[in-house]
Each structure stands twice: as structure tokens, then as C-alpha cells.
Amino acid sequence: MQFALDEDQVAVREMARAFAAEKIAPHALRWDEEKHFPVDVMREAAALGMGGIYIRDDVGGSGLSRLDAALIFEALATGCPTVSAFISIHNMASWMIDTFGTEAQRQEYLPKLCPMDLIASYCLTEPGAGSDAAALRTRAVRDGDFYLLNGQKQFISGAGATDILVAMVRTGADGPGGISTLVIDAKTPGVSFGANERKMGWNAQPTRAVIFENARVPVANRLGEEGIGFKIAMAGLDGGRLNIAACSLGGAQSALDKTLAYTKERKAFGRRLDEFQALQFRIADMAIELEAARTFVWRAAAALDRKDADATMLCAMAKRFGTDVGFEVANQALQLHGGYGYLSEYGIEKIVRDLRVHQILEGTNEIMRLIVSRKLIEGAR
């Protein structure tokens, strides 16, 4: 078993951390305030191999592991969790094409997706189908060599600014067996977008509804056979959950680093804050929780790389634990900054706002518990 990173993994992590420090962190507060989607910077990250991290190299991907990806997303999130999380979503959508697409589909899309010349959104959630994803109602009706698509997706990251929509749609009966996956050009007639949502955090990426009104999508754009779309979506989410947990760790690590610097400089009652034992204990607990969560994410990532039977359960566990710990550490960091933590210029309150949604997306943490309990109960029968 691996309990330390090898030289290549350390180099990958340091490359991503240096990129985050130079290209992302100095602008993160402005991007949040202005709701700016930094496509140019993300393309710079893609030029370093971060636009197709676990995509096969014959189409321009980096061909790295899920553990490598976790290292990269954590490192990028030290600069801005929102930007890191969107690059994760783009990678997830691209991976679905790489894994389930035909050779023609792979060659058509991935050489442009890996450098992020084209940018992808993942479209599963609907207004009435969030945690209950199998209840989605967006319908694709076969019309010769096309599907006629009607319905609406909700809370879609990047929508309106991305080029490709990897969407789960209903081609058959109710339930998970009636869902298929389509790769849709965002400029297709009949595809439109709602207003950019006003959100608590994640302001550096747009979030909009995607509306389909008699949009004609070629049957050739379907990934795999009809009826396997739900399985494709869930397979994508295994990795997506690890990625979002890693983003939580990166954001929380940044908050902890800021706290260490602050408590070293700030004085109260004639002493530096880091000289008070109560605060020393709190900082220690923050670091311990982060390291435990990091180890958990790495274990789950290694299981997913090996395609272990319990990989889905471990990914759900790691997502629940990692995102809860990440938010709590960031929230504690805000508390240790006192009133200054509540001010935007210190960067802590942004991290808290950004990390809060990680406990909701890619499957709520309540759903993670449900996945884990079902696996355990099934195994005990």
C-alpha cells in the first residue's frame, strides 16, 4: 500500500500549486466580486495538462490517475475552490466522452476539450429532480436520425459560457433504465439559458438553467446505447465526488495557512495569538482533521483507480467526510480571525462561502450516507 507520494506525484502537485499561487490566487477575490469566469486562465491550466487529467493521451489527455487528479484539484483550490471545481466538472464531462463514447466521438470532441478550446458542462439536475436524479423528465423523442429534445436542467455550472453540454435525458420509460446521455452543441437551435443565478458562493463560475425547446440533437451524439445514461452519470459522479472533496481540502488548507500567518502576527493581551494554548489546540485539530480527510480521499482515489468493488462506497464516504471537514476547517479559520475574518479582503469569508456548496453538489452529503448505508446493509445480507 502507498503511504507517501512518489516523485512524479509530488512534481504534479507542486506544478498545480505554483500555478494556483501565480495565476489564480492573486485574482480570486476580484473574480468573485465581479462574477468573472476566467476562461483564459483555465486554458493556461489546460496547456499544462489540467484540462484532460485522466483522459487518454491519444486524444491529448494527460493519462493520469484519479489520485493524481485529487492532488491537482486540491492544489488548484488553494488559489480558488470555484475555479478548481469548474475544471473538475469539465474533466468529468470529458471523461464520460472518453470512456463511453465511440472512437469517432472521442476524436471529434476530446482533442478540443483537453486544451479547453471547447469547454464542457455536466447536465443532470432538473428543477424537480435533484437528489432523486432518476426522476429526471427532460425528454428526447426519436425523430429519424435526430432526437427532439424538450425540458430543463437546473444549477448547471458554466451554462451559457460553455460549448458542450453532456446531458442526461429520458429516451424511455420512467426510472433509471429510461435515461440516455447526449453530447449537445450549446449553440443548437432550441437550446437557451436562464439568468446567471445569484449565489452565496461559487461566483467565479456562472450557474444557469439550460432550457431545451424542440432542440434537434443527432442520434450520433448519444454516448453508448439507449438506457445506460444513468449508469454513465453515476460513474462520472464517483470521480466527481472525489474531485469536489479535494477542492474542499485545498480551500480549507488555504484558510488554515492564512490563519497560521494571522495568529503569528496578531496580538491580544500582550501576547501573540499563537501563544495561547486554547488556540494552539484548535489549530492542531484543524490540521489533524484535514490530514485525516486527505488520507481518506487518497484511499478512495486509489480504490477507484483499481476499480475495486467498494470504490463507489469509498468515494461517497470520502466526499461526505472531505467536504464536511473542509467547510468546518474554513469556518474555524474565520472564527480565529475574529472580525477580520468577516471582511472580504482577508479572503477567508470567500472560502467559507465557496466550500459550503460542496456539501450539496455532486450528491448531497445526506445522499452520500444513503449510498454508504445501502452498500453496508446489502453486504450484510
Give the span between the Cα atoms of 139 and 137, in whole angstroms. 6
Residue 166 has, within 13 A of its CA and on its CB side, a CA count of 29
Residue-wise over 234-264: b if at least 16 C-beta within 10 A, else e? bbbbbbbbbbbbbbbbbbbbbbbebbeebbe
Query: Cell numbers of 228, please?
Result: 445506460
Q: What is the DSSP string of 177-220?
A: GGEEEEEEETTSTTEEE-PPP--SS-TTS-EEEEEEEEEEEEGG
Cβ-based neighbours of 370, under 8 Å, separated by 6 or more: none
User: Which residues have a catalytic role annotated?
Assistant: 362
One-letter amino acid at 227 equals G
Give the span between the Cα atoms of 3 and 1, in whole angstroms. 6
- Helix, strand, or coil (residue 127): coil
Task: Name the phi and psi angles at 336, rounded to 5.
Answer: -70, -20
Give the span between the Cα atoms of 284 and 272, in whole angstroms. 17
CA angle at 347 for the pair 344 and 351, rounded to the nearest 5°: 110
Q: What is the DSSP string of 66-104?
A: HHHHHHHHHHHHTT-HHHHHHHHHHHHHHHHHHHHS-HH
